[in-house]
Every structure is written in structure tokens, then in C-alpha cells.
Structure 1
Amino acid sequence: MWRVLLVEDQAIVRQGLKVILEQDENIKVTHEAENGAEAIEVLQKCAIDFIMMDVRMPVMNGIEATRIIKRDWPNVKILILTTFNDDEYAVQALREGANGFLLKTADSAKLIEAVYSCMQGGLTLHDEVAAKVMPKLLQNRQKETITVDLSPRELSITKLVGEGKTNKEIASELFLSIGTVKNHITQILHKTGLRDRTQLAIYAVKHDI
């Protein structure tokens, strides 16, 4: 069962999200926080697998919290959830290592699907957000060239990561085991000097892989 931390300054919203998420037997909301600073306090004391976090909050916002959490707890998955359809927030969140960006207009099925996607290594972007974010990530991509030596297999995997595919989906498409895909991604991250899978997805888009 995945242990979930909800970070949202409005209690009624947290309660609604908890009810929705716990409809799935694999999801348990174990902790709640009203801002990014409280979220970090929770992580210092408790084991958390997944964080669903608002962007605009008092004390510490979601972008700043994501930066700190991904630095100190890189394996924790973070889905940014907001009412603000703002491409700049999405770009910042992804650059700081968020595993997805979803609008609060998403239905309950989409929320649960997003948790699964993030936990399985995918990159979740709300359609409306993706339509605005991708052009920003693609800007000036022709000026950037690949300076690391990736094998054809590594390039194929990088391309699929850039498409938001999970390890399971990549393994199925390339006829590999999930373990082999994970090993390849680890090697790719080492070669490129990137921190995590989200940065690799952005790297793939920027370099038109």
C-alpha cells in the first residue's frame, strides 16, 4: 500500500482528496499538511511514498517544497495539484523534479490514475497544462545538441521516457525485463548527469530524441 501525504492549505479540499484517493485499496492517506514547511516536517519523521501537493500555500509554496523534498528525499513521488492553469508553474515544478502536474478540475478516476502513473515511473501532465508546457520545453531545442554518448538502446529508452511511458510500458515495447529498463535508466542518468526520471523526460524533449 502506498503511503500518501496531502499538502493543501484548505482542509475541506484535503478531506475531499482523501475520500477520492482512498477509494483505491492501494492508496492510504497517512498524513496531511497545510504547507510545504509542514510537509518537510512530516517527511523528517515518517516514511512517505507519494505526495499530492498544492502550488500556492502560505509559509512555503509547492515549488519550493518540491525543490527541497527532491533534494533530500529523491525517491518520494510528487504530483503538483492546483487550480491555476499556469504554464510557468508547471515548468518550474518539472524542473524541480515533480513527477506530474494536474489541475483540480480532474475527475476522481484521473487523480487515482495519476498516482499510479507517478508511482510506476511515468510523467503525468494534465492535457491543458501539457499543451502550454511542451512549447516552452521545446523552445531553442535546435540549439542544444547531445554531448553524451548514448547507445541506440539508451536513446530508445530515453525517447520513451520523454513520452511519459512507465518502466513496465517501456519493457513491454522493447521486449526487455523491467529490471533491465531500470538499469538502463540508471546508466543514462549517470551519463547525462541528470538527477531523476523527470529531468530525463525534459532532456528528451529538449533534444528532440
Structure 2
Amino acid sequence: MSILLVDDHELVREGVARLLGDAPDMVVVGQLSSGEEVLEYISHADSNDMNSDIYSTNNIYRMPDIILLDARMPGLGGIEATREILKLAPECKVVAMSSVASGVIPSQMLRSGAKGFITKSVPVEELLKAIRVVNEGDHYVTPSVATRLAVDPFGDDGGGGLFDKLSRRELQIAQMLTDGKKVSQISIYLGLSPKTVYSYRYRIFEKLGIRSDVELTILAVKHGLADDTREYDGLPSFDSIVSFPAKQLIS
């Protein structure tokens, strides 16, 4: 099966690619660092023929069977990226991975259409199992996350789905604000006027009962929408992997 890796950390991409390269039934067809890049990649591939290779001037764009996607990335986050990926290529199956095992991220990723969700601390065997299960058409969720979702389906620790109050656009802007993006940057990225972004920001604050970006970030960390650190746990086997130069596309 063919796999496309999407993560904004090069070490994570290279490590996972090395691990998957040892699996006889898996081939990594590309490594990308953002949601924007994966949408550009998918748009160049033929979503109507999952077995075809599409040739561009410099690279080969092969439509993947599985997209292994980081749930938390700057810019277009994993939640919105998953929705857009499935619009372009509904045949693709998304497996989300995250260092956040609680809060709203798991439930939001699954609602956006991801077929699998694993934490970055899982053993290699579970990573491979998740990919194979999803490729066969089933869902896979890391057991510890599945247990939390069964007890608290909103992923909100009994908070009644606090971030579910936000619209898709509001949630996207909230994530960008917690990533430290300024209103002017969000405005340019989303193609909205600064006034419109400020209006969204005001509605976010009103719905969540907060008054500042600092309070938003604290709330986002508390409910798992943001990490309290941008450092990832990585996979256990990374200790035995030697970092080597990244290749954006692997034929």
C-alpha cells in the first residue's frame, strides 16, 4: 500500500518513513510538511485512479492509499486539511497522529473524516497495525484514546463540548491564534479582511467566555486543542534512527 506522510517536523517524517520502509507491504510515496502542501499534492494526482502515477515537470505525484497526517500543524491544521483532502480525493484514507491523546483533537479529527487516530507514543507494531486496519476499510483508534472517547465523546472532560460551540471557521481561526498567528497574518492566509477576522475573534471569545488570546491559549491547552509545548514525543524507535536529509517526494 502507498502512504503519504504529512508532518511539520522533519525528524518525525524521516523517522516514520524509515520505520514504514521496513514493512514489506508499505511504500512511502511522499513526505510533506503542511496541510497546504498535501492539498497541492493531491490536486496534482488523479483521484479517479488510485493506481496511476501522475507525472509533473519535476516530480511524480502518486495518489496514496493512506495519508498519515499530523493533527496539529501550523497554518491549515489537521482537522481542516482532512476535510479538504476528502473533498478532493474521497478514496483516500486519513490516519491522524498526535502527541495529544485527550481533549477535543481526537474527536474533531474523527468527525472530520479521519479513519484512524493514533498517538505518537505508540509502539511501531501498533502504528503498522493501524495503517493496515484502515487500509482494509475499518477504523482504528489507539485504545487509550478510544476509552476516553467512550467515556467523554466530546473530548472535553465533562465540559459539554466547549469547542463544539465554534463553527468550522471559528475553530480554524482559534487554532491559528493559539499557534501565535497575528490577525494580519490570518487575514492574508484566509483571504479575509482584518475586520472580518476580528469579528470572528470576538465571537470566539464570546462563545468561550474569555477576553484575550492568552485566555484562549490556556483554554485550548486545557481542552487538548493545543499543545503546551511544540516538542513532540516522537516514536520510541527514534532513538535508534539516524537522521538523514529529507526528500520531499519519493518515487
* TM-score interval for Structure 1 and Structure 2 normalised by the shorter chain: 0.5 to 0.7
Post-superposition offset of 1:121: 1.0
Contact kept? 1:70, 1:96, Cα under 8 Å: no
Other-structure match for 2:106: 90
CA-CA distance at 1:135 after TM superposition: 2.9
CA RMSD of aligned residues (A): 1.6
Give the paired residue count: 138
CA contact (8 A) 2:67 2:95 kept: yes
Hey, what does 1:61 align to over in structure 2?
77
State whether structure 2 residue 103 is matched by structure 1 residue 103. Answer: no
Contact 1:83 1:104 in 2 (8 A): yes
Alpha-carbon separation, structure 2, partners of 1:89 and 1:19: 26
* Cα displacement (A) at 1:138: 9.0
What stretches of structure 1 of length at least 5 have no aligned partner?
140-209
Classify the secondary structure of the residue corresponding to 1:74. coil
Identity of aligned residues (%): 29
TM-score, normalised with respect to structure 2: 0.53
Q: Equivalent residue of 1:30, what SS?
A: strand
Gaps of 5+ in 2: 45-60, 156-251
Shift of residue 90 of structure 1? 0.9
- Residue 40 of structure 1 contacts residue 69 of structure 1 at CA under 8 Å; is this kept in 2? yes
Distance 1:58 1:87 in 2: 18
Q: Structure 1 residue 123 and structure 2 residue 144: aligned?
A: no
Aligned counterparts, 1:1-209, within 5 A:
2-45=1-44, 46=61, 47-137=63-153
**Which residue of structure 1 lines up, in the alignment, with residue 174 of structure 2?**
none
Q: Do the aligned partners of 1:80 and 1:98 also contact (CA within 8 Å) in 2?
A: yes
Larger Rg: 2
* Counterpart in the other structure of 1:144: none
Q: In the TM superposition, what whole-angstrom CA distance separates every residue of 1:67-91 from its partner, at most 9, and x where no partner exists?
A: 1111221110110001111241111
Q: Output the amino acid matched with 1:82.
A: S
For residues 138 and 48 of structure 1, the distance between their equivalents in structure 2, rounded to whole angstroms, comes to 30
Larger % of helix: which?
Answer: 1
Q: Identify which of structures 1 and 2 has the higher relative contact order when contacts are C-alpha pairs closer than 8 Å and 6+ apart.
A: 2
